[in-house]
Amino acid sequence: MADDLHGLKGLSNMLAIVGVGETDYAADYPASRAGKPTTDHFGFGIRAFKAALADAGLRREDVDGVIACSVPLGRLVELLGMEPRFSASSFDPATAFMVATDAIRNGLADCIALIKSLNYRTAGTQFGGPQAMGADNLYYVYYRPWGFTSQGAFDSVVVQRYMEIYRLTHRQLGMVAVAERAWARMNPLAIMQRPMTIDDYLRYPFVAEPLRVPDYCLINDGGTCLIVTSVERARKMTRHPLVTVKGLGFGEENAAINQLRPKLHFSRIQMRQAGRQCYEMAGLGPRDIDAFYYYDNFTGELFYILENYGYCAEGEAAHFIDTMGIGPGGSFPVNTSGGMVSESYMQGWNAQAEMVRQLRGEAGPRQLPKCRHAHYVSNTVARATSLIMQAHRD
């Protein structure tokens, strides 16, 4: 089925991000590990919301829409003391931006807070084994008899397949975790501050071969909030350089997920569909991107993600990463806050906050010398989303 891209192009640069707020992941981590969190599931989201209001120079009354992301919507709105004109729930950042764009375009709300909140560390949430979160309906438990009791085990065979086909080495795989750790050490909010070289990485044990401990995302508590409005309103209210949503894309290949079909070809169908939509809407391509962000629940996905989104040819990602450099000082920066493996597991939302800061020129010591377009992608087992933000500093 052909994509209807005409309507999408009309939505480019319609939505602006005017406020960003995050909790202090590093400060909260020791308390949550000790089972003594500084607040609860809702409290992390409320903290982030207040920080975003302050960042935008807005009052609570200026926000008339809420999109709750992984936090119960009704109770969140009640605790915020709000009666919004519009509310919804979403998990994925790009999807939440799609919902917000539609709501603002159609007059359902003028200013919407996208609030993400997690307390996985305090709650003892497990993503593998018999007590895995959602074990009654998550796809990977279907493969428990063959050892796939976690998302990591499931992903490990895909990365192993890539390594065997394209001769990716363990040292090359480790480049990703090492680069993201280097970024995290420049970010005071990041949890993982310990230095890590490639030799350090190779000394870590496997969790599900070929994935080692540093290839896995963190499990922590925290909150992130982005406040969005129309570009017209943003130009009158923002105290920061304007940042807009330039492109959005979605792709899905769900029909044969129980047979692992999407993973056998590295999710090419869904990612290429999402990329095509996003690039067409934005009127941009890979060569226009200054910073790249991805949903790094496991680092090994980056290789085929870069290939599927057109940054390099199939099987060439390791050479591309090694040649370009994805860490500090490199020419293709990736996950500049440290990502979910070294900064915080916020299911892609910490990447959104970092993109806005980079595009505003407010990222401190890790600020990129040139950052006008930032690209974020998420690839789950059956779905892919893509998002491009643009800076307007003139």
Distance in angstroms (rounded) separating the CA atoms of residues 47 and 51? 6
pLDDT at 153: 83
Q: Where are the alpha helices (DSSP H) in the chain?
A: 5-9, 25-33, 41-56, 73-80, 93-105, 120-123, 151-166, 170-184, 198-203, 231-237, 261-264, 268-282, 301-308, 317-324, 339-342, 349-360
Task: Answer for the pair 50, 66: CB distance below 8 angstroms, yes or no.
Answer: no
Query: For the chain, what is the largest distance between any 2 Cα atoms, rounded to a whole number of angstroms?
Result: 58
pLDDT in the model for residue 387: 98
Structural domains in the chain plus CATH codes: 5-123+219-237 (3.40.47.10)
**What pLDDT score does 380 carry?**
81
Q: Please check the confidence at residue 179 and state whether its pLDDT lies above 90.
A: yes
CA distances from 48 to 312, 335, 338 (A): 37, 20, 19
Read off the pLDDT of each residue in 273-297 and give the average, rounded to a whole number: 97
pLDDT tens digit sequence for 186-201:
999 999 999 999 999 9
- Reply yes or no on whether the pLDDT at 7 is more than 90: no
pLDDT mean over 23-38: 94
Q: Residue 151 is encoded by which pair of tokens? A: 């998302």
- The whole-number pLDDT of residue 9 equals 83
